[in-house]
Amino acid sequence: MKIGLPLEIMIGEGRIALTPCDCKQLVDAGNTVYLQQDAGKNSAYPDSLYKDYGVEIVANAQQLYEQAQLIVKVKQPLAQDIQYLRQHHVLFSYLHLAADIELIESLRAIGLCAIPFESVVGEDGGLPLLAPMSQVAGRIAMIRGASLLFRNRGGRGVLLGGVDGSDRGQVVVLGAGIAGSHAVAVAASLGACIDVLDIDEEKLQQLKTQHPSIRTHRSTPETVAELCTEADLVIGAVLLAGRRAPVVLPKSVVRQMHAGSVIVDIAIDQGGCVEGIHATSIEQLCYSEYGVIHSAVPNMPAAVARTSSQSLSSAILPYVHELATIMDSDTELSVTAREEGALQNQSYRQTSLRQAMAICHGEVVDTILRQELQREPSMV
C-alpha cells in the first residue's frame, strides 16, 4: 500500500501523523510510505531521519497526493489540500465533520472515502484515536488559562493556587471526560479550587476518587450559571462523539462573569460549547468579549507538536496497518461492507474502521453524521 504523509498547513500546526520509527514498521510490512518534504520538521523529525527508515521524500503536496492512495494526516484538509484529493484516495485524519458542512460537501464531490480518527471506537467502547489529543488539550487548556489570568495578559491577576494570605483561584471544568479530567489534574497540581460539572455521575465519581479535593456537580443550567459567574477560569470540555458540541455556557452567563476572567473552549473543533464563541489560533490566542477573555484554538495540541505527534502516532499505527491490509487486499471499503454480516470475521480494528467511516465513495454513511445533517436535507 502507498501511504502519504502530507505537510500540515493549518495556521500554527506542526504535528506529523506518524513518527519515523512507526513509519519503519509500515515499510517493514511491505508498504511504501511517502513524506512531503519538511512535514516532520516542526515536530523535530528531519527528513533525513525518515529517509534512514525507508520513507520516500517528495518535494511537494501535489507529488505526494499523486503517489499515495492512503492519506494519513493530522488535521482536516484545507482548500490547498482538497485540490489534490481524488476519488481513489482514502483519507484518515481528524475531520470533525459535524461542525463543517462545507468540508463534507467538498469530500462528497470528490467521491473519496473518509474515516475520521475521532469516530474510531475501541474494544472498550472508548475513542482510542481521540484520547491522546484530548489528554494534551486538557493539560494545555489549563496551563494556557492560568497564564491568561496574569494581569499583563489582560486577566484578573489571579494565581490559581494562591499563596499564604491569598485566595485560591476558582476553576470550573465543564465535562469530566478525558480532556476535562486532564485539565482537572493540572488545576489540582496548581492548588486551585475546582468545580467539575457533567451529566455522567460515574465519571464524576471516578474523578472525585482521583482528586478528593475537587467538588463535583451534576450539570444543569442553574448550576452552570451559579458556578461560572463566580469563576476565574472556565474550561469547556464537552464532547458528544460525532456530533456538534452542545452549548452549555450561554452568553447570558458569560455577561455576568468577572471582568478579566478566562474561558478556554476545548470543544471548538466540534463547534464549541460556549454560545457565540469563535475560533482563535496559536498566533492569536484569545479575544475579549463582555470583559471576559475567550480562547478557542482548534489545534491546541500543536503547541507541543513533538509530544502530540509521538502520542498520536503510537495510537493510530495499528489502525494504519489494518487499513493498509484492507486496501492492499482489494477488500471493498464500501457501504455494504459495513453491514453486520460482513463484519463478523473481521478483527475488531477492521470492524471499527469500517463502522467509523463517515464518507464512502461520496456518500455520507455515518448514522450520527446523517442525523446531524438533517437540517441540511440536500447534503443527505
CA-to-CA distance for 268 and 206, rounded, in angstroms?
25
> Residue for cell digits 480532556?
179
Give the per-residue pLDDT at 379.
Answer: 46
Cell matching residue 207 = 474523578
**Active-site residue 269, yes or no?**
yes
Q: Is the pLDDT at 16 greater than 50, yes or no?
A: yes
User: Percent of the chain beyond pLDDT 90?
Assistant: 84
What mean pLDDT comes out for the span 331-355? 65
In contact, 23 and 53? CB cutoff 8 Å:
yes
CA torsion through residues 260, 266, 269, 271, sign: negative
Decide if 89 is catalytic. Answer: no
Which of 78-92, 315-329, 345-359 is the most confident on average? 78-92
pLDDT at 308: 98
Lowest mean pLDDT among 82-86, 157-161, 250-254, 324-328: 324-328
> What pLDDT score was predicted for residue 350?
87
pLDDT at 99 over 90: no
| Percent of the chain residues topping a pLDDT of 70 | 94
Confidence class of residue 345 from pLDDT cuts 50, 70 and 90? low
- Please report which confidence band the pLDDT of residue 335 belongs to, taking 50, 70 and 90 as the band edges: very low
Closest CA to 247 of 210, 213, 209, 221: 221
pLDDT at residue number 85: 98
pLDDT at 338 over 80: no
334 confidence band (pLDDT: 50, 70, 90): low
Selected catalytic residue, list 89, 96, 182, 294: 96
Which residue has cell 511504501?
A: 32
Residue 64, pLDDT > 50, answer yes
What is the pLDDT averaged over residues 9-38?
97
Please name the residue that has the C-alpha cell 488545576.
187
Cell numbers given for 280: 482563535
What is residue 336's predicted lDDT score, i.e. its pLDDT?
A: 47
What average pLDDT score do residues 187-207 get? 97
Segment 259-291, tens digit of pLDDT: 999 999 999 999 999 999 999 998 899 999 999
- Cβ–Cβ < 8 Å for 35, 100: no
How far is 68 from 1, CA to CA, in rounded Å? 8
pLDDT at site 368: 81
pLDDT in tens, 210-220: 999 999 999 99
Average pLDDT over the chain reads 93
pLDDT band at 372 (very low <50, low <70, confident <90, very high): confident
More confident residue, 138 or 378: 138
Q: 109 pLDDT band (50/70/90 cuts)?
A: very high
Q: What is the mean pLDDT of residues 336-352?
A: 63
Q: Could you tell me the pLDDT band of residue 330, with boundaries at 50, 70 and 90?
A: low
Catalytic site residue from 22, 232, 265, 269: 269
